[in-house]
Structures are given as C-alpha cells and as structure tokens.
Amino acid sequence: MRAVAALCVLFGHLQQHIVSLAKAVGDSRSPWLAWAGGLGVDLFFCISGFIIVLSARKVMGQSGAGLDFMVRRLIRVVPLYWLATCAYLPIFLFGASTAGRDVWLPLLTSMSFVPYPVFGDWAAPYPLLTLGWTLNYEMWFYVSMAAVMCLVRQRVVLWTALWMGSLVALGVALEPEHRQLFFWSRPIVLEFVVGAAMGMAHAHGRLRLGGGWACCLGAIAVSWVALDPFGMTTASGPTPNDFVRLAAWGAPAALILLAVVASPVVLGLSRHRLLAPLVRLGDASYSLYLLHPFVLIVLGKLWVATSLHALLPWWSLACLSVMAAWVVARLSHHWIELKVSAWLGRHRLARRWMMGSKVDGVVRT
C-alpha cells in the first residue's frame, strides 16, 4: 500500500512535469493523461495513522511513552528530509523566481516543520522542498498523539480524535487569521484519525471483511476516483485540504485501506512472491516520495538538452523516470535511511533520550 501511494504521487508529478516540458519546447501534442496523483497523499495519511497505532500500541499508557514515541519518529523522519531540503537549497537560491530571496527564515521553518509560505503564497504554504507540506501535517499528528500517549491505551486514539476533530471544527467555524493554526486545522488531518481508528480496531480483531466485500469496497473507491465528481484531477493550482478533498480522495483512500487490511483473502494475496518488488518499494516509499523530484528535474533537463524529445515519444521519458526514481529510492533507503537511523539509534544522545522512559518494564534502547 505504501508503494501504491508513493507511485500515485510520482505519476501525478511526472504528468505535470512532462506537460510543462512539452510546452517549453513548443510541442503542442498532449503528452499525458489526467492522473489523480494527490490521492497518494491521502492514502499515505490514512496508512500513517494505521501504522502508528499498531507500532506504538505497546507503549501507550506507559510513563514517558510520548517522548519515546517522538524520538523514534524524529529519528525516522528528520535525517532524510533535512538532507533532501539541503540538496534543494541551491535550486532555491539560484532559481529564476526565487533568486535573491532571504533564505534563513524559509530554511528554519522548513527544517522545524512549521508551515510558512516560502514561495510567497499563504494559500499554499510550501516549505523549501515543496513536498514537505505533507510532513508538516505528519509531524502535527505525531505531536498530537504523543501528547496523549501516556493515557490508558484504549483511549489514546479517542482523545487524539476528539482533539483533532475539535480543532478542525473550530478552524472551519472561525477560519483563524493565525496562518499556522489555520493550516493545522484543515479537514485533511482527519485522515490520520480515520487510519488510527482502523489501526486500533484491527489490533482488537474487529476489522473483518470477506473477499467479496473487500473487492466491492475497492471497486467503489477506484470508480469514485475515476469518475472524479469534484473535478480534483483537472483542477489548477494547489489542492485545498478541505472537506471537498476528504470526499473526493480521503474517503476512497480510507475505503481502499479498509478493503486491504480487513480481508484475510486480500492480505493473503498481498504476500504472493510476485508482489515482492512492491513490498520492497514500499519499504523505500519515503525515499521515493522525497527524492523523485530531483530525478524528474535532472532527467527532464537532460532529455531536452540532448533533443531526445524530437526523437522519442514522451512516454519513453516517463518510463525512464519511473525506473530511475525506483533505483534512487532503493539506494537511498539502504545507504541513507537504514544506515543513519541505525547510527542515531546507537548514538549516545539518542540513547540518553530513550532511556528517559521505561516501556513494558524495561528500558528501550
């Protein structure tokens, strides 16, 4: 599922990139079809809520569980994101539309996961690496979960849902002028809550669907996205993270996740060896998500500079970009994500933080 979500985002950005390249070289042909790439983000958010509950369930209700949880999340998320942000910094400094801008506040807010309009538009408060807007939401969800992690295990998800639901209700009713508060109170955060509720129900054995029902739910979700009644796929400009997005992409994403995790039949099929490459790509989905823009930029410039667009169809560039992004993601996962996370897990400072909390009666290191 993580691989599917990451590929959705990749295909969506690839579509936009190729269309813009075609226009830049004066190619009037329509080189690509519409693709609901944003659905991958909504699927990621649902999956994130689901996985976080399953992975942190044993520490819920323990003293210091919130700190232990946050340290582990920071070790997992921060290193690669900071590295990718620094790699994008030269593009920001010397880009045609951003050259000469102040860099310190954009860099600071980006590194600290604070929503800020680096590119000047509060309607789309993107960080330096624009994909990081999703991580700003991820980190907000982590903080919300960590704040109630020491409560009784069965109530952690309930209190998180009440807190985030109340904040969304206030945000919709009041539309606060405080821009960060407005960002954090967007309805899209409810997708984490839905995924977390599924995770808790799954942990208690309450998610059970037959293969037929699972296929029906999956077919309904895919059909809804394909029909696109709200015109999300063809909309121009940044996608608003409001209730329309929840209806257009959030609900189908939740149904797809439910169809997969609630059906023993589907879960059994997912373990087939033919799907092993997708499982491995799912492990590297974080690298694929963060690094694929660099692959698209480099290959696109080389493609145009060598005039390959005049010799080969655009779908050739699409296939090459997907394969290159796949390779880069796998290499990054092995040589950066795993190595850095393991080193930080053994590092004296990280170990000191983790030893501040006792989980299940033993010190977690």
Angstrom distance (rounded) from CA 109 to CA 6: 25
Confidence of residue 102 (pLDDT cuts 50, 70, 90): confident
Token pair in block for residue 327: 């390779």
Q: What are 275's two structure tokens? A: 């799907």
> 362 - beta bridge partners?
359
Any idea which residue has 């509950």 for tokens?
Answer: 53
pLDDT at 363: 35
Range of the domain at 168: 2-363
Residue 36: CB atoms within 10 A of its CB come to 20
Cα–Cα distance measured from residue 325 to residue 294, given in angstroms and rounded to the nearest whole number: 9
- CB neighbour class for 98 (10 Å; exposed up to 12, middle 13-18, buried from 19): middle
Task: Name the more confident of 184 and 353.
Answer: 184
Average pLDDT over residues 132-151: 93
For the chain, how many structural domains are there in total?
1
Helix ranges (DSSP H) in 204-313 = 211-227, 243-245, 251-261, 264-270, 276-283, 285-305
**Per-residue pLDDT band at 30 (split at 50, 70, 90):** low
Contact 156, 197 (CB under 8 A): no
Mean pLDDT of the 207-222 span: 90
Three-class SS of residue 207? coil
Q: How confident is the model at residue 98 (pLDDT cuts 50, 70, 90)?
A: low
Mean pLDDT, rounded, for 338-364: 59
What pLDDT is recorded for position 224?
A: 96
Asked if 262 and 270 count as a contact pair (C-beta separation under 8 A), the reply is no
Instruction: State the Cα–Cα distance between residues 56 and 52, nearest whole angstrom.
Output: 6
Name the band, by pLDDT with cuts 50, 70 and 90, for residue 127: very high
Residue type, 128: L
Give 178 or 113, the one with higher predicted confidence.
113
Which of helix, strand or coil describes residue 347?
A: coil
Quick one: pLDDT at residue 97? 65
Per residue in 320-332, pLDDT (tens digit) is 999 999 999 999 9
Asked whether the predicted pLDDT for residue 360 surpasses 50, the reply is no
Instruction: State yes or no: pLDDT of 125 exceeds 50.
Output: yes
pLDDT-based confidence at residue 359 (cuts at 50, 70, 90): very low
Mean of the pLDDT values across residues 153-160?
87
Cα gap 164→44, rounded to integer Å: 18
Contact 289, 77 (CB under 8 A): no
Distance, in Å, from the CA atom of 281 to the CA atom of 288, rounded to the nearest integer, reads 8
Give the mean pLDDT of the chain.
88
Report the predicted TM-score, pTM, of the whole model to 2 decimal places: 0.91
Residues 6+ apart with CB under 8 A from 82: 111
Q: What is the mean pLDDT of residues 202-209?
A: 88
